[in-house]
Structures are given as C-alpha cells and as structure tokens.
Amino acid sequence: MRKTVHTRMAGLALALLAASAAGQAPSEEAYDYFALNCKSCHTIGGGALTGPDLKGALDRANRDWLVKFIQHPKAVIDSGDAYGQSIFRDARGVYMPDPPGMTAALADKLVDVMEVEGALEKSRFAGLQISDRPLTAADVDFGRELFRGEVPFASGAPACFSCHTLAGAGGFGGGQLGPDLTAVYARLEGRKALAAWLSSPPSEIMTPIYRATPIESEEVLALTAYLKDTSATGQEAASNGTLAFLLTGFTLAALILVLFDLAWRDRYVATRAPLVALRHAAEHTIKPTALEGPHS
C-alpha cells in the first residue's frame, strides 16, 4: 500500500517534471486555437501541407524564435532571417498570415502544443484522414455541383461560387470576393493540402463562416476532385465574365430609361413649347390657310 502511494507520487513528480521541462502543460485554449487557426496549413507529425510539419519544430528553432515568428511571420521573413526565408521557400512563396488575436503568451502556449503533441506517437493534429481512394468522374460532377451551389452543402455552408470563379464557370463566372480557383490544386500542391484547407478554411473571411458550417469530408473529397480536374484542364486563367456582366448591366439600364420615357410620355413638360411644336408640325402637314392665326 505504502509502496503504491510512493510509486504514484513518484510518477506524479515525474509527470510534473516532464511538464515543466516542456514548458507549461498546454491549455485547452491553445489546443482550440491550434485546431481553428493552424491545422489547415500545419500537421504535427503528418507531413508538410502549405506550412511545415511542426513535429520537432523545437529541434529546428529555439523557443524564442518560434514565439517571435508565430506573432509576426511576415515581418520575420521580410527581415531576411535565414530560417524564415527557408520556410518561405518551402511554402512556395506563401506568407503565413498574422494569426488573429496572437500574443506572446499565446504563441508560447502554441509552442507547448507543438512540443507535447510532437512527442506523441500519433498526434491529434497528425492531419486529416481524407480517403486515398482514386477520384472518379462522379466525384468531379458532385464537386462541380457543390462548387456552384446547385447541390447545397450538408451543413448549409455557402457555395464556393459566391466568392470564387474558375475556368469554365460559364455565364458571367463566379464571384470575385476571393481569388480565382482554377489552379488552386496545383498552387497548394495537391490533394492533401487542398483537403486540409477546405476542411478548415484559414482565410480571414472564410474562417467565421465555415467554423459555423464546416464542409463534410465526402464533400471535401468531391471539391478536391473538381478542383484537380479544373487545374488539369483549365490551363489559362478563368475567362473573365466581368465584361459581359458590365455590358448586360449597361444595356439593361439603358432599356429601363427608355421604358421610363415611354411610361411617362404624357408627362407635363411645358405649356408653350408643345403648342409651338404642334403648330410647326401642323404647318407641314395641313394646308397653311386652315391654320392661319392672328400673327401670320
């Protein structure tokens, strides 16, 4: 009995020691933050996505550097920092955005998460388990329908077409709040990173929307298939429907103005002018004698 207690206490002490060696035990807040803001570009032990695999991050850089980088990634990269530059090259020139609401304390806790999760056999952030099955033509069709909103997402999430266009969108094309997605599959270098992005979109505009209405994994797969397809076939930038849209708008506006003129053709304009006009018209069509007035 006594021995058991001692063993337990020793175990506890060891655990505490381990925790203190690894900085503070990561808080739930840090885990939540990582899940919301980091995992769409980073895994811990699952390989690189847009950003590097964070397993062993502390072997590659010291804690102070990481805390500084997490707070202001672009500033560190632009300062010419050698390791920052190498990360930037590996990310194919994609800057890591400044994480929303980041502080030095929170960055420190995130480094704790990297350290603790990186030491595990399999981290909860090892990456998405998106099926590896071959993508079929049916997936492409389903993805296209989802993209355009013809089939709604199960969660009720807004269709991609609201804000994004791509080659072969047809008509006036897709929305232009976000970037053209024709080549996004190639830009993110493949299925894994794209699927991660779609599962938890990290852009500032998309995050609050898709946090409330996430895209399901089968839908992610279908979208990935569709975007892979457009990336392969749509060599050129998406045809721009803006000109057609503008021309349609201007033509419609002109037509409506003509309609107004017709609808109010009996509107009051002036008293004398119409009488003079009437007179002039009459002089050309009817015998002058019939219209002779006191002044003629």
Partner 1 sequence: MSDTLLFGVLPYLAVGIFLIVTIQRYRQRTFTYSSLSSQFLENKKHFWGSVPFHYGILFVLFLHLAGLVIPDMILAWNAVPLRLFVTEATGLAMALIALVGLVNIVLRRMQVSKARTVTTPSDWIVYALLGVQIVTGIGVAIFHGWGSSWFATSLTPWFWSLVRLEPELSYVSALPFLVKLHVVNAWLLIGFFPFTRLVHVLVVPNQYLWRRTQVVIWNHDRHTTRSVD
Instruction: By CB under 8 A, name the binding residues for partner 1.
Output: 100, 148-150, 152, 158-159, 161-163, 169-172, 174-177, 203-205, 207-209, 242, 245-246, 248-250, 252-253, 256-257, 260, 264, 267-270
Give the contacts of 104 (CB within 8 A, at least 6 positions apart). 67, 71
Which amino acid, 241?
A: G
**Cβ at position 1, least distance to partner 1 in Å:** 55
Q: Which is nearer to partner 1, 66 or 222 (CB)?
A: 222
**Cβ at position 144, least distance to partner 1 in Å:** 11
Q: Which is nearer to partner 1, 4 or 271 (CB)?
A: 271
**Cβ at position 41, least distance to partner 1 in Å:** 17
The Cα–Cα gap between 41 and 49 comes to: 5
Q: Assign 90 to helix, strand or coil.
A: helix
Which amino acid, 130?
A: I
Question: For 129, how many CA atoms within 13 A lie in the half-sphere containing its CB?
Answer: 3
Q: Which is nearer to partner 1, 47 or 170 (CB)?
A: 170
Phi, psi of 38, rounded to the nearest 5 degrees: -110, -35
Q: Which is nearer to partner 1, 61 or 102 (CB)?
A: 102
Q: Which is nearer to partner 1, 56 or 175 (CB)?
A: 175
Q: Which is nearer to partner 1, 23 or 179 (CB)?
A: 179
**Cβ at position 177, least distance to partner 1 in Å:** 5
DSSP 119-176: TSSS-TTS------SPP-HHHHHHHHHHHHTSS--TT-PPPGGGT---TT--TT-S-S
Give the contacts of 105 (CB within 8 A, at least 6 positions apart). none
What token pair was written down for 217? 């994994």
**Cβ at position 172, least distance to partner 1 in Å:** 5
**Cβ at position 222, least distance to partner 1 in Å:** 16
Q: Which is nearer to partner 1, 158 or 190 (CB)?
A: 158
The Cα–Cα gap between 201 and 41 comes to: 9
Cβ atoms of 106 and 64 within 8 Å: the answer is: no
**DSSP 8-state assignment for residue 50:** S
Cβ atoms of 213 and 238 within 8 Å: the answer is: no
**Cβ at position 47, least distance to partner 1 in Å:** 29
